[in-house]
Amino acid sequence: MSYFKTAILLAGLTGLFMGVGYLIGGASGAMIALVIAAATNIFAYWNSDRMVLSMYGAHEVDRNSAPDLVHLVAELAGRAGLPMPRVFVMDEAQPNAFATGRNPQNAAVAVTTGLMQSLSREELAGVIAHELAHIKNHDTLLMTITATIAGAISMLAQFGMFFGGHRDNNSGPGVIGSIAMMILAPLGAMLVQMAISRTREYAADDMGARICGQPMWLASALAKIAGAAHVVPNPEAERNPATAHMFIINPLSGHGMDNLFTTHPSTENRIAALQQLAGEMGAHGGTLSTNTSGNYLRHSPWGRPSASRGPWG
């Protein structure tokens, strides 16, 4: 059902894009819109991962520069049946993470320094497992496509405003129609993009919890990250809000227009779903903790006890 809903929403986004093209230039406009979408998506398919990693100043790490982090990713990738993704670290105080890449063979997982410093190893495992679930479900490509089409709709709508001002109401959308299109088309695209993102976040939470074997590790991590995201700003994300849907928790502060819309489901609802899953799996892994000190005594998914102040101690 999750994949069916995503397919319907993606079809709606594509239809909206072609509809804007049709309003601007009729049947030929719809075809031009389709060509633009195809060209933009081809470019995004091959280059989106490098662009977003560069945007956030992420640097790649290996077993020599970050052995614990890379080992953790490798262990979880093995449990998920995935090739080892590239691992990146962003020098960012806000705890957060995202995955990118066009397919599992060309994927990357990026985490912030704030995430590594504020979470326990078990919580970090939950976060990484969530990002690996996005890779396994091919969400990284899907979200790139939705973001690209949504951006193209906004671009076409703005062009339609200019175009409509030079045509009468019989041969084009007209001034009033162009203004309405400029406002409503990007809004509709944003709503569809948010709906797709929310659907995929729930699916990634469920699969990620199953990958690491302890739903409450991810639930605890989500509570910590959500609490910090509202008080620790992420300047790069604020400058590029179109990338907000990529992160495990919305990185935007909500101080501007972005507080009217969110690309992520309610954190409380996500935690509740994970708590229900934990009950079904019989794998509570301890009670949900929002204590930021990060002192835990639990068993890691690899069978050895872990008691630490963070993922590395």
Question: What residues act catalytically?
Answer: 131
Amino acid at 230: H
Q: Which residues pair with 306 in a beta bridge?
A: 298
Alpha helices (H) along the chain: 2-55, 67-80, 113-118, 121-136, 139-164, 174-212, 215-229, 235-239, 267-281
Q: How many other C-beta atoms can be found within 10 angstroms of the C-beta atom of residue 155?
A: 14
Residues 198 and 180: their CA atoms lie apart, in Å, by 27
Q: In the Cβ-directed half-sphere of 66, how many Cα atoms lie within 13 Å?
A: 20
Amino acid at 137: N
Residues 204 and 256: their CA atoms lie apart, in Å, by 28
